[in-house]
Structure 1
């Protein structure tokens, strides 16, 4: 078998090894440092969620912080390696901390998670910057309460550079900044997401808890340095430890990405 023909097989074997033990995650190819989510989403992202970069997450609706944290956990689990979660004491008291059994359903066992509580929002950013440069961590998640004004353009640029410096041949260097409230302020993050829960179909086979269906996310990509924005309804398959499409048809894009009505009328 020639070297070209064997590449897909080798890639498949690497993924299977990572599923068995995320600590044995293989080296990241230089030409493909993206974290794959789901094909339609990856296509807009230029191959997947960029590693060695900062990404911002926020609730798409009031009270949907848990969905935002859940998406972050799923992404972190797929990144492999150790995960550091940074939050202030106030953030932990307001939104709560990660729940062990829930983490396991997202493929992130407690043995891979490190928690760091700090007194001030400014300390969150300082700790995140240092942690992103640490090549022993696969992903760094940080929470900012309120509008998170401390994470301005200058601060997010520093975090982005730190994430880039933290990439090695074994870790993803993924930085996920969770804002408790969405913002339109300038940011150096590679992407900005608003995430909400979406109704799931009941599981007639019993499901995880009393017939509840799979976790669904309403994803809105508000900023994308590699291309357009978009919106998708996806769900998490707890058995496959992977995202999958939740609806057979596309979801309406955000209003600011739709063609102008007058232009459509002129086009006939």
Structure 2
């Protein structure tokens, strides 16, 4: 699959319908944690990855590598991780290769983190202190929340911090392109703890590092966890205008 010979003219003003479509894809993107079993055609996956590949990257380095897992391949990876996750002794031997979160939390970030966690658990009827059900819910990450497609993203270890910024834009582009096609996603840093299992299962070259995973598929509209809508700070809280 390749891009059209003639890309859309970037200098033409967008129509109201085009603006509305882009806004809708952005505003309806959220992390879904329950998916229908309906398969996603390979051509559709290739199409959204093709569109997302137009994401910007410094000097056009395009630092992303995508591993698409479906069927038995996805089940094998999930089974291996679940077996380790269920065994405390084995689990203790697996740690993240890079720090996704800060080592010391401060407000307002820790408050937002706690709120989204308790909002999700509240929807699921998981009470504070119910560690068994919390762990069971976290374990669903490793089944890609039953999505028919699991994506694993890797980056060459030689690439530096700027390329990770580029990678974030690529991930966002995938999620927005997915929404434009009626699909939903959930980006998952949880997989990074099991980078050694992933590297072995996918036969990754030593120079490749796991960035994250992502669930992709048709969201289950009846699943209560999919009703979670996280809050966002007002524009005035994070924007600083300067004119002089």
Q: TM-score, normalised by structure 1?
A: 0.26
Higher helix share: 2
Which has the higher relative contact order, 1 or 2, with Cα contacts under 8 A spaced 6 or more apart? 2
